Each structure stands twice: as structure tokens, then as C-alpha cells.
Amino acid sequence: MFNQLQPVPTDPILGLMTEYKADTNPKKVDLSVGVYKNEVGNTPVLAAVKKAEEYRFNNEQSKAYLGMAGDVKFNELMTNLLFGESDAVNSGRVKTAQTPGGTGALRVAAEFIARCNPSAKIWVTNPTWANHISIFNAAGLQVEEFPYFDFETMGLKFDQTIEALNKVPSGDIVLLHACCHNPSGMDLNIQQWQTVADIAKKQGFTILVDSAYQGFGHGLNEDAAGLRLLASQVDEMIVCSSCSKNFGLYRDRVGAISILGTSSAKAEVAFSVILNVVRAIYSMPPAHGADIVATILSSKELTALWHTELDEMRTRINGLRSFVVNKFKEKNVPGNFDFIANQNGMFSFLGIDKEYITTLKNDYSIYIVGSSRVSIAGVNDSNADYLAESLAKVLNK
């Protein structure tokens, strides 16, 4: 049976990770992988996480299954973190289940949507995180794109976004990024979120919000403002969230899927379908990471420590954006990169051609995704000069 199989191409980003690890150049720079890195290039375990893990080690009483919905306390705390003190939560219209990471949440959402309406189309921003398309296609759903990022102005195509959304029919799904849009770094402002909410109500489509970077843009509450506005106005919504970035729990795979229903009763029905989907995919989520998050959010001391560490990560990323722009100017990199300083989160496009990206990798050991998307968190004081000087050489050829 296996003889008929053909090799599947390696994921571009994972392929670059492999090449980077094998590269012996001491000056090599990795701007491809989407993880937070500190000044020395490490992805540290947060102090709040360490303390929570110590507590868990000393107090864990059982290794029994969690159940299909996962850690009940985690689900409650994540609901509050995402939705805040909202009427939707207080009225019981929101139900949350723990998942294996944000990707797991998206896959559960995909299967849930297929149960609701197998002919539904999923509308995603152009561009979006590449795995969005793979996840929904794997569930047998058709994916369409709508205009979002303008590669000429390095800003939003919001007029075109609105024009496209006004044509999305009832029964379809529109996927939006809560904050720190991956891969462009361009987010909707609150007025634009309101416009989207108005169109969703008029057209009757359902919004799926991917919240993978809460706290990395402007703050925990600020980054959830669009999501919370929608929850206050639309009848139904799906939210997929991740604790990989803001808690630094990448390899522990901690995420959640939340369903907003028209009523508590309707939300319960939808949640029962979610749990049935979970049962068929992975049965039960793992305990460790969710318990760490629940321990932190249940403790005033650990929550305060986590807030401090999250603020430090966000401040570093936002500072790096201006730092990179100034360094490019200092080293006479041709072009205007001011847009980088005006974006949010870890990612941005450089807007350079693939031939330059290939040269940067082959001649200078600088690893960038083919679309020119870079992870700003990969820049630090020790590699910024080399990065800017190399980019200037390549673009000036």
C-alpha cells in the first residue's frame, strides 16, 4: 500500500529551521521561526511558569484522564482572559474546551464547522498563517481569501476588505486574527472591528477569531478589544486561542476553543458537538500545560509575575521594531522600512524579492521565509549590524 505514496514537500518554515541548525556560520541569523527570543537568542521558560511547575510537582495527586473538555478551571480562566467581564460570559453563552495548542483548537473548529455546514466556505485574510488553509482543507472545507494586506503600501486594504466581506453569504465563516496579525503585523483598529461586526450581522456569516498572541500587541485587554466587541454584538462566534506565546508554553501545546451561542441552551448544544469532535480526534487533552496556566491565573502573586514578564516580552518586541528601522537607516539599506515600527507582534514583511532572500541565506546565512516575512524577535544587539549590513549589500547589488 505504501508503494504508491509520493514524498510530501517539507513545510517551508520547518525546512528553514533544519537548514539553520545545520549551518556552521557563527554569524547565522534565524528570522524564520515564530517563537519569542530574548536578547541572547533563547526562548526562556518564564519564572511564573517555573513556580507553577514547582507547585504542580509538589501537589499533583493523579494522572487520571481530564475528560474531553480538559481542565475545567483552565477553561473558566481562559474564558475570562479572552472575553473579560462580558454579558456573553455572565449569561452562559460562552463555552470553552481545552485543546492541544491553538492548532488543535483550529482543527476542532474545522471539524465542528463541517458538522454544522459541510458546504461552508472559510474566508481568510490574504495573507494569513499558512497552516490555516491546510487545517481547514484537511477537514474537507473550501478556503477562500479576501483582500487584507497591501504589499505596495505595507498597510491594510480595508476598503477592499469591506467590499469583499459584503459579499460573504450567510452560512460561511470569516476568520480574523484577534491581534498581531500573522504574518503581516497589521491589525484592525476598534472602528474597523465595529464595521466588520456590522457587516457580519447584516450578511449573517459567522466569525472565527484566532487569538494566538494576546498580550504581545498592546496589552491583554487591548488585544482582546475586537474580540470582545464582536461578542457583545453578534449572535454566534468561534474563538481559537493559544498559550504558546504569552505563557511561553510552545512545546506543551496549550490552547482552547470557545463557542458563543445565541443563548446558554444553544451554546450547550454546540458544545456537546465540540466534545464529540474532540472524542473522535484525540479523545482527551494533556494535563500539564493547562494546569500551569490555571495555577498562574488562580494566584495573584503568579499572575502579577506573569504580567510583568509578558510586559517585558511585549516591550522588547515593540522596541525592536523601531530599533530595526533605525538600524536599516544607519546602514543605508535602500527603501523605506518605517512601516515596521507601526505594526504589532512578532512578524512583518520586508517586501523584498525571493532572489534577495535566497542570496541572504546562501551568502550570509540569514534565514527568512520566501514571502519575506521575518520574525522581529530574532533580532538582537549582537546580530542587528550584520543583518542590516548584509541586507544593504544584497539590495544594492
At 114-156, the pLDDT tens digits run 999 999 999 999 999 989 999 999 999 999 999 999 999 999 9
Strand order in the sheet with 237-242: 94-100, 254-260, 237-242, 206-211, 173-177, 121-126, 142-147
pTM, two decimals, is 0.95
In this model, does residue 397 exceed pLDDT 80? no
d(CA 259, CA 265): 12
Mean pLDDT, the chain, rounded, equals 95
At 72-122, the pLDDT tens digits run 999 999 999 999 989 999 999 999 999 999 999 999 999 999 999 999 999
At 178-215, the pLDDT tens digits run 999 999 999 999 999 999 999 999 999 999 999 999 99
What's the pLDDT at 16?
85
Identify whether 245 is a catalytic site residue. Answer: yes
At 328-346, the pLDDT tens digits run 999 999 999 999 999 999 9
Task: Choose the weakest-confidence range: 27-36, 193-202, 256-265.
Answer: 27-36
User: Could you tell me the sign of the dihedral formed by the alpha carbons of 98, 103, 107, 112, in that order?
Assistant: positive
Percent with pLDDT over 90 in the chain: 92
Identify whether 121 is a catalytic site residue. Answer: no
Could you give the domains of the chain?
Answer: 2-45+302-395 (3.90.1150.10), 65-298 (3.40.640.10)
Which member of 71, 210, 252, 291 is catalytic?
A: 210
User: Could you tell me the sign of the dihedral formed by the alpha carbons of 374, 145, 194, 232, in that order?
Assistant: negative
Which member of 51, 245, 327, 361 is catalytic?
A: 245
What's the pLDDT at 280?
96
Which member of 30, 95, 121, 129 is catalytic?
A: 129
- Per-residue burial over 170-203, b if 16 or more Cβ lie within 10 Å, else e, is eebbbbbbbbbbbbbbbbbeeeebebbbebbeeb
Mean pLDDT across 166-187: 97
Q: How many CB atoms lie within 10 A of CB 327?
A: 20
Identify whether 291 is a catalytic site residue. Answer: no
In this model, does residue 17 exceed pLDDT 80? yes
What pLDDT band is residue 7 in, cutting at 50, 70 and 90? confident
